[in-house]
Structure 1
């Protein structure tokens, strides 16, 4: 029976001299998912459980992967639009090509997907999904794409060049969040002991003892990365996660983040929180409610 997070990448925090972070885990059955995140449905988000966030750098489309399915929240909150079936997308990540996403989780009402769904892929922006592998076997709570393929965790950290064949990674940690970028084979994993870093597409890993203990992490480009601590403190790296600089802070309990590199200026970081959707366009210093989500 695979282990899964009681809330998507949720940590219970206790700071000592070493700032030790304790991650709460729970065994999941193959039946109903156990997401227990605090409700955000009244805070400008269409769902109580946000598991993933994606912003298209070319079209500015904002998508939320949630307990109730995939939602387009680019327009004002009253016009949040569900895309595709109502499936619990516990794991969610964007690929390099426009409109291509990978996901995992549990089927919702009326879905003909197996439980758990294994790895599924959409090539039409989330409208329809195809089954790639491990249907009825894996509920990947952490997913990332890198230059050489896909990295995923379902109780075992695994890598795949095509989403169909899998190999176990050399790792002895439990990732809360996996993050990668199609430009590079550098992959990051947030864990209770600190930030793990891979430079070979997730096959082998090393703990970065100099990095802050972050709960969430997201690539804006192959080298620019944001990390967020459990208390909302934001950190920024320009060297693919080797060194970090403290920037601003996010209010509210963060559930998911993503980052976007624009053609000019500093990258943007987006966050879905218990208080709603926020964005920083100045490299993580100041966060505001985006105009489209007011």
Structure 2
């Protein structure tokens, strides 16, 4: 699947393909008396309606923040930051198109576009929230950068706005000619390691994005997420999940999400279990067995 990796100009939106075959099947039935829907069909219909309502509310999910201890999951979306499963249509943040989003160390970094009535510039550049998304501080590149890929590392912040850029002080930026255009970036605030997903495969940096290498036999992934400094989950464009226990040097196949992914995150649960959250066209999905199996979680 190459379509999800087509690099669009800065400011354009990438839309992942959605499975539409089921709708065609439903419309192509033969004539005659329809059988009453089964419980399974009714549950499926309810899940589909819930996912459709969530899609209308969020627009598109660009990032996820999850707390393994409390189970609280936040979704960074086209329409701002929401708590998954809260049952509330009210965002936790102002309406901002959070195209780039990174969580860690008690704060959020983001980039994207201001919503209606916002006093943020267009594009918003690099912004930060230290109060759960309620307010945002302008840090740098306001009116200049819309970072579609963004992550925080132990060395600073790295983002891609058409060029790969890194900052150690959150104000001054260095452009890196890495030789690739990443679809996504992943790091952890306690390590300088960064992973970049590209159409050619995984790229890996040990120095906060200054230099890069390509691990041998690395899978082609759309998204990756660190659970801790060594443990990583990744997902391919078709929903196949991989895991790594050596910070992205080598990968093993796990299971499958139900559909192509929009966003993902990972964490470590009780007993050292790898927890994985993926947002797809079917809503939020959760795995507590290292990505082997997934179950729906409140959208």
1:43-192 correspondence runs (5 A): 44=54, 46-75=57-86, 78-96=87-105, 98=106, 100-192=107-199
The structure having more radius of gyration, on CA atoms, is: 2
Per the normalisation by structure 2, the TM-score is: 0.84
The counterpart of 1:261, out of the listed 246, 263, 268, is: 268
1:200-215 correspondence runs (5 A): 200-215=207-222
Write the distance in 2 (CA, Å) between the matches of 1:144 and 1:238. Answer: 20
Deviation sequence 1:67-91 (CA, Å, 0-9, x none): 111111143xx33541121111100
Asked whether the 8 Å contact 2:233–2:266 carries over to 1, the reply is yes
Change (3 A) 1:48 1:234: same
Change (3 A) 1:194 1:37: closer
Moved over 6 A (4+): none
- Gapped regions of structure 2 (runs ≥ 5): 19-49
Deviation sequence 1:214-238 (CA, Å, 0-9, x none): 1110000000001111111111100
Write the distance in 1 (CA, Å) between the matches of 2:150 and 2:141. Answer: 14
Asked whether the 8 Å contact 2:215–2:250 carries over to 1, the reply is no
Asked whether the 8 Å contact 2:9–2:162 carries over to 1, the reply is no
Asked whether the 8 Å contact 1:69–1:88 carries over to 2, the reply is yes
Q: Paired residue for 2:6? A: 24
Pairs aligned (count) = 267
Is the counterpart of residue 12 in structure 1 residue 2 in structure 2? yes
Per the normalisation by structure 1, the TM-score is: 0.85
- Give the match's secondary structure for 2:138: strand
Higher helix share: 2
Deviation sequence 1:190-236 (CA, Å, 0-9, x none): 00111000001111101123111111100000000011111111111
Asked whether the 8 Å contact 1:60–1:74 carries over to 2, the reply is no
- Gapped regions of structure 1 (runs ≥ 5): 1-10, 14-21
- Give the match's secondary structure for 1:264: helix
Give, in angstroms, the shift of residue 35 of structure 1.
5.4
Alpha-carbon RMSD: 2.0
Write the distance in 2 (CA, Å) between the matches of 1:47 and 1:38. Answer: 17
1:214-233 correspondence runs (5 A): 214-233=221-240
The counterpart of 1:281, out of the listed 288, 291, 296, is: 288
